[in-house]
Amino acid sequence: MIPLRYNVRNLMVRWRVTLLTAFGFLLVVAILVVMLAFVEGINELARRAGRPDNVIVLREGTNDELFSDIADTADLARVWLNEYVATDSAGEPLFSPEVYAIATQQLPPDPRDGRPRYRFLQIRGVLNPPRAAAVHGLQLLRGRWFSSVGNECVMGEGIAALLGLDVGSSFTIREGLTWQVVGILDSRGTPFDSETWAKREVVGQEFGKDNVERGQRFFTSILLRLRDPVAVSWFCETIKDRTGLEVSAVPEPKYYERMSEANTMFLAAALFIAAIMAVGGMFGLMNTMFATVTQRTKDIAVLRILGYQRWQILLSFLLEAMLLALLGGLAGMAVGSMFHGVEQKSFISSGQGGGKTVVFQITVTPFVLRTAFWFTVVMGFLGGLIPSWAATRLRPLEALR
Amino acid sequence: MLKFLLLILKNLRRNPVRVSLTGLAVIVLVTIYVLIQSVLSFLDQQMQEKTTNIRLIITERFRIPSRFQKADFDRIVLPGGETYARLMQLPGYLPEAWTLWHFIAFSLDPDMTRRDPNRFFFAIATLPEKIPTMIEGLEGLDPTLCEKLKNPGVSGMENAGLLLGPKRLARLGVRVGDRIQVFSLSHRDRAGQMIKMDFVVVGVLPENTRWDEAAFIDYDYLERTLTDAGSELAGLINLGWLTVLDQATAQTACAIIESQNRNIKCETAATAVNRFFEPLKDILFGVRYILVPTIIVVMAVVVSNAIGITVRERTTEIAVLKVLGFTPAQILVLILGEGVLIGLLGGLLGVALPHVLVNYVFKGIRLPLGFFPIFFVPTEAYYWGPWIGTATALVGSLWPAITGCRVQVAEIFRRVT
């Protein structure tokens, strides 16, 4: 075998070309790592979003609570008053009927033209805040839960920071509707980080979920905690028949998983972009390796005369190409990993036109690093193959002449 | 000048493998740049305020999804209302340029447990006669096709026409002329049950537009059905659209509309799109300021590497050229010329390739971003591609070219034995 040291020395002798080619690889792999880590960040958020023993009940035919409306009738209690729903220490069933809405908050006018400006706010109306938080697996970071009187709310830590609000602050959604922030949710890393929670009545009436004229009130979803996580699938499949209501149920993790399905589009786009960039990088590597072979025709001839076989020459140059790719690739993985933990804002959607704004962290997982590594290896292999093969075709005597 | 060009071409022909590989790298990198830039420039266009023919969008002020009384919109666009009278006084107001939208989701299947995505569709109930003038991307749509929404030509089916995008038509597995029964997913009758509606598929929307998956129905038919069914959504619309001539009219019109009704808001379509894309701003920033520059740097590195190798291989030759009287500036131009020519040709091919593939073979980039499900490579890309290819190659070749023109003749010939 031709010693690997020979290849390493060659890379060091031609250090400028080595560094430039490796730098190209570094950029391609770093971008791949960041793009994959971005997708993984949203997936991670969706994975942590739901408890496996929680079930979300929606109106039949909807995938997104924004578009769901379940009329609050006497029969509705059949959804949570049954032996399958878990109870708290006081024996109360763990359920939370809620109203989820997106509100348009009016902001101070634009100083340039005096026109009003708006932004979207995600609002959840809950009946019993401590119980709702218990079912969602959330706690208060500071402050207290809102009371049954007055316009009070609690906010996700992320949205509160974004809006510059804290316990004691108040904000106006529109004329005549001002909420006072009385608590901050410990919601980092969950989809509730960008939500504001308030009284169900206020949210239902102010954001068009209730029909005030007809005296009807609606919930967009009902979150339940089941006693037996094993029974979740069965519970979801049979809820319509058991209750006789036009509702469907889905395990909470699956609900958020569905919401993050749009990410497959980002994942596909990320891989496509990275693959095309890699092809560009590969051509650069081929250039370098062809130049290497041309510069070392005499070396190759001597090696052949010394008795090294064609396949050994091929292997040697291929290893050199892969070494060069790995040099850049590993550095790229390191650079890409520096983005781990960077906070990002994005959007998850069930594809029905609704969706949620979420704050998440770019997450470099072992999957991301494994993908980047094998990506580098394959690029190095493909980029080095043809020049290495060309090296084996050299005729020793002609090369030495 | 011509001599220089011939010399550059001759030099390039001396190492076809290297030139081809570098050219291919430029082509693929320009291709990906053009694809990304096509999406970004389209979004920029949508988010940028226009100066003429401005579309205004009227929505319920505080809620998503927006729903408001059609009667409120009528006061804006139909004679008789105070708002209408005030708007008519604006010089840039176009009294006929308006339409309304009411969204509804349908399934072909009353059994929701099957949840087959190919059996669902979203329809926009609108005014058929306004489709060719008020819907971006459907300008020039055959008015007789829109007329068929009102008169599908089947007795007892007045106003029950259905226009489908070509992709949606294929997904649903229906054909023009078919009569179908659908069940509303988003709207319920007074008893809380799905509302049944019958339609005749009267036509297909043009291919290669963002309306590939869309469906249009006649608003009058929907409204009549919702009223008969006792739906609480009867009499409501989701959006109203106006077109006005200029920004000044747009600002004044919005102020008038909002002052007359505090529950609705009026803004330019660009403002609404901007707000919708607010959660995606981080991604768009990353694409624009990290991904695109990285692609350009990778391209510059590949060109720089290739030209650098070429210069190192030809130091003796460069020394000979200097001895023959070539000035350093001329040598610089010769080397830069090689890089620039590769960049220019690579850039041209890097645009032609995605333009043909995306627009004619794959019929668009399917990347659903909000209201924009499909993107195309615009013809302006024929400016960006060669420009970015040439500029990047120029920058990439600069350092090797400077190194080449600094070659010391005596130093080189001392080494030649």
CA–CA separation, B345 vs B333, rounded Å? 18
Own/partner long-range contacts of B112-115 (Cβ < 8 Å, ≥24 apart): B112/A60, B112/A61, B112/A248, B112/B185, B113/A240, B113/A248
As a whole number, mean pLDDT of residues A306-333 equals 90
Q: Determine the residue of chain A that is closest to B193 in CA distance.
A: A246
What value of ipTM does the predicted structure carry? 0.77
Q: What is the mean pLDDT of chain A?
A: 84
Is pLDDT above 70 for A351? no
**Chains A and B: how many Cβ contacts under 8 Å?**
173
Q: Does A276 touch chain B (CB under 8 A)?
A: yes
A173, A265, A266: residue with CB nearest B62: A173
pTM value is 0.79
Quote the CA–CA distance of B64 and A349 in Å, as a whole number: 14
Instruction: Write the single-letter amino acid at B366.
Output: R
Centroid of chain to Cα A212:
39
CB contact under 8 A, A115 and B232: no
- Poorest-pLDDT segment among A156-170, A253-267, A311-325, B394-408: A253-267
Cα of A212 to nearest chain B Cα, Å:
11
- Joined tokens for residue A198: 């308030």
Candidates B24, B32, B279; nearest CB to A357: B279
The token pair at A358 is 């979420």
Decide if B64 and A103 are in contact by the 8 Å CB cutoff: yes
Q: Which residue of A has its CA nearest to B366?
A: A265
Please name the member of A30, A104, A265 whose beta carbon is closest to the beta carbon of B62.
Answer: A104
pLDDT at B388 (0 to 100): 93
Lowest model confidence (mean pLDDT) among B195-199, B298-302, B412-416:
B412-416
Please indicate whether, in this complex, the C-beta atoms of A283 and B278 are within 8 angstroms of each other. Answer: no
In the three-class reduction of DSSP (H, G, I as helix; E, B as strand; rest coil), residue B153 is classed as coil
The amino acid at residue A215 is G
Q: Please report the pLDDT score of residue A400 as a whole number.
A: 74
Give the model confidence (pLDDT) of A256-307 as tens digits.
887 776 666 777 787 788 888 888 888 888 888 888 888 888 888 888 888 8
Question: Per the structure block, which two tokens stand in for B180?
Answer: 């179908």
| Lowest-pLDDT range of A57-66, B24-33, B285-294 | A57-66
Q: In chain A, whose CA is at the least distance from the CA of B28?
A: A280
Could you give the angle at which helices B16-47 and B2-14 cross, rounded to 10 degrees? 110
Nearest to A28 by CA among A338, A266, A329: A329
- Contact status, residue B66 vs residue B102, Cβ threshold 8 Å: no
Per-residue pLDDT band for A141 (boundaries 50, 70, 90) equals very high
Pairwise pLDDT comparison (A183 vs A119), residue with the higher score: A183
> Among all chains, which residue has been given the structure tokens 């130049």?
A291
Binning pLDDT at 50, 70 and 90, where does residue B275 land? confident
B295 touches chain A (CB under 8 A): yes
Could you give the percent of chain B with pLDDT greater than 70? 98
Mean pLDDT of B37-53: 86
Which range is least confidently modeled, A375-389, B71-85, B258-272, B384-398?
A: B258-272
Nearest Cα neighbor of A282 from A389, A378, A391 is A378
Q: What is the mean pLDDT of residues A201-215?
A: 75
> Of B385, B342, B353, which Cα lies nearest the Cα of A287?
B342
Instruction: Give the pLDDT of residue B156.
Output: 81
Q: Which of B21, B32, B109 to mutate to probe the A interface, most A CBs <10 Å?
A: B21
Task: Enumerate residues 6+ apart whose C-beta is below 8 A from A283.
Answer: A383, B21, B22, B24, B25, B28, B302
Q: Would the pLDDT of B144 be above 80?
A: yes
Are A389 and A314 spatial neighbours (Cβ–Cβ below 8 Å)?
A: yes
B36 Cβ under 8 Å from any chain A Cβ: yes
Query: Can you give the pLDDT at residue A343?
Result: 81
* Residues B21, A120: C-beta atoms closer than 8 Å: no
Taking an 8 Å cut-off on Cβ atoms, the answer to whether B103 and A353 are in contact is yes
Name the pLDDT band for A354 (thresholds 50, 70, 90).
low
Chain B residues touching residue A244 (CB < 8 angstroms) = none
pLDDT average, residue stretch B82-100? 91
pLDDT in tens, B301-353: 888 888 888 888 888 888 888 888 888 898 898 899 989 999 999 999 999 99
- Across A104-118, B230-244, B271-285, the highest mean pLDDT is recorded for B230-244
Domain ranges, ordered by start, for chain A: 4-48+261-400, 54-227
Residue A208: pLDDT band by 50, 70, 90 thresholds?
A: low
pLDDT at B186: 81
Residues of B (135-174) whose Cβ lies below 8 Å from A: none
Best B103, B305, B349 member to test A by mutation, with max A CBs in 10 Å, is B305
pLDDT confidence tier of residue A197, bands split at 50, 70 and 90: very high
- The partner residue sitting opposite A276, judged by closest CB among B21, B28, B367, is B28
* Helices first, then strands: H and E counts in chain B: 16, 14
State the Cα–Cα distance between residues B349 and B382, nearest whole angstrom.
9
Is residue A348 within 8 A of residue A355, CB to CB? The reply is yes
Q: Which chain B residues are Cβ-neighbours of A30 within 8 angstroms?
A: 294
Question: Which tens digit of pLDDT belongs to each residue from B301-315?
Answer: 888 888 888 888 888
Token couple for A297:
């025709």
Residue of A23, A280, A288 lying closest to B299 (CB–CB) = A280
Please indicate whether residue B344 or residue A217 has the higher confidence score (pLDDT): B344
Check if B354 contacts A (Cβ < 8 Å).
no
Q: Does A290 touch chain B (CB under 8 A)?
A: yes
The average pLDDT across B373-387 equals 88
What is the model's pLDDT at position A116? 65
